[in-house]
Structure 1
Amino acid sequence: MSHHNGFGPDLAEVFGPAQSDGGPELIQLLTPEGERVEHPDFAFDGTDQDVRDLYRDMVLVRRLDVEATALQRHGELGIWAQLLGQEAAQIGAGRALRPQDFVFPTYREHGVAWCRGVDPLNLLGLFRGVDQGGWNPNDNNFGLYTIVIGAQTLHATGYAMGMQRDGDVGTGDPDRDGAVLAHFGDGASSQGDVNEAFIFAASYNAPVVFFCQNNQWAISEPIERQSRIPLYQRALGFGFPGLRVDGNDVLATQAVTKAALNRAREGQGPTFVEAYTYRMGAHTTTDDPTRYRLSDDVEKWKLRDPIARVEVYLKRNGLADDDFVAGIKAEADELGARLREGCKALQDPSPLGIFDHVYSEITDELVAQRDGYADYLASFEGSHA
């Protein structure tokens, strides 16, 4: 080993290079060519129908994403955070959950929201600017989108510690024991909040799964500048296990996430799951990825498309035919039409409505502010300025 800087061996020699294919540690159950493969520690325990259902989920969620992007381009949304290429990571994780589990998302978990039964129109309302997130987190055990990078990991850890204290972990009752799933991206792993969440989760053995979608780019910053080692290996420094799964393999993602959640529910503490994937689109619709990444990389990742590999597998094994695929496409078209019509029908909020959602009971100070703002708005009535 070479000692290149006087402080020890070259890290690339110790841990291996950050390979574009995820490296030998990548947990995979379905190859990009649509072939099932075995793994010594993880197995997909679903039925053929479950695989068909996962395919449907991914196709519909991709249509949701494509439709929302088009709506933003037409001026109907202020911004949109795309998930294109990350469908398997989100659907696999979302379908590993039990009803009593709780999810803390970022602002890109449209697929997980879909799995939890959140109406996609509620997602569009946030990005249209007509509400602050139009769903009640308690209805679906799915938290509101978090725009502050990484903050939700602390919320998730605190919630998980609360589940411990409520006696909802490690009882052996599968209908009671719960866990928390905390989503974040590779860029967020550099945030202090995320690292603090790791420390608390490890110290208190909290039942939380940290699910990192490593899509290779923190806006315009490549993963190579964020970490000298694979992200999943960071977990060992905090005292809990880390795993790297093929984030474009919905079968492997579900199997690994299910195992991590089971571990948490049993009281064995946190796990870090790194879903190794790629952001095919822009960071958000305000971003231009052609300015900082090569088109060759995008073309390589297109060959690992998470939906295409499942479709090939289903057809090759006689589990789906052209009529099945056409039926899902027709369902996606219906979803697209509902989103287009529903988005434009979303009602703009009253400017004074924001004062109603600060406290459960409005204060005298806020009443004065609201009345003053109402007078200000009234001053424009009848004005042609």
Structure 2
Amino acid sequence: MRPGPPSVSASGSEGRARPGKIVLFGSGEIAPSGRRGHAVAMADFEPPVKVAVLETPAGFELNSARVAGRVADFIRERLGEFRPRVLVLPARKRGTPFSPDDPHLVAPLLEADYIFMGPGSPTYAIRQLQGSVAWRYLVARHRQGAALGLASAAAIAVSAWALPVYEIYKAGHDPHWVRGLDLFGDFGLQLAIVSHWNNREGGEEVDTRRCFMGRERFEAMRRFLPPEVVILGIDEHTMAVFDFQKGSVEVLGLGQVTILRGREVREVGAGDAFPIEWLGEVRLPPPIEVVPPPGAPGFPRPVLPPEVAALIREREAARRRRDWATADALRERLRAMGYEVQDTREGPRWRPLDDPTAPWQPLEETPSHASG
């Protein structure tokens, strides 16, 4: 029987940890235009950057693993300068073996430098994450400094009031808003985030602007929101980067963001920035400490390739023969392959050269590759 959820508490070290950046993608998270959004989020961390992709928003889809996997592949292949270690977390649905309430499944969130959620259904994401262990981990880790990337459905879901896109656009429900995850509420902001703001997939036949609602219907929906809620519309292939250190929001990509606050309308194009205060009176919440359950896994350890393990053993044999020239040559060869070796009385230990914070691992405990 697994232990219960972790304890979560406010940190007493106010002024130390600061919230990380939040990158909201209107769309294009795996397009060339979206690369810079990921790069801005990851640039605050020393390589290798630990990236967690949360599968939840698309958890109802039969190919949800592939939806999240495409993002993971994009980050691995297009952002190599950060040497990303990417892990997809299949926290798909409550009450299943892949539940966002399983602290062991989502424990890697507590080590992640960059946490990403993307396409799917906003309302499904809200139902699965509201009050969940995964959501508490995500919020706590962001307060400790991790960056967040939220695209499409996930960007909508973290609103104070969220747009039920599928229900209105596909199922014909009456226009309405639902309570969202309210990520920005603790920062003093009441936001309704609308991705796909300038969508034109409907062409000349159907108005799909305002995230498929159509401009006329969306304007009518505005009156259903509480007066203090600010609408933040993000165009296709456009990103809004919240930097709480600077107190600003930078716009990247191909379009613009639109701010609707009461009767006031502001538009900010790519390459420009605006103060967060345009969205409300911002405050910084205190850090949150999380104590994971005993035995909870983190990011998996690097796997030592068999050819590298063989060289380490060959070097150890040379050392036993006191063939120091060969041992030194093999050490340099291992370094060229990206590994460093430490000699101890118990035997050689290794770690990746590009991660000096990684623990030294004994050769005999090295996970082996599956044989074909």
The TM-score normalised by the length of structure 2 is 0.26
Larger relative strand fraction:
2
- Larger Rg computed on CA atoms: 2
- Which structure is richer in relative contact order (CA contacts within 8 A, separation 6 or more)? 1
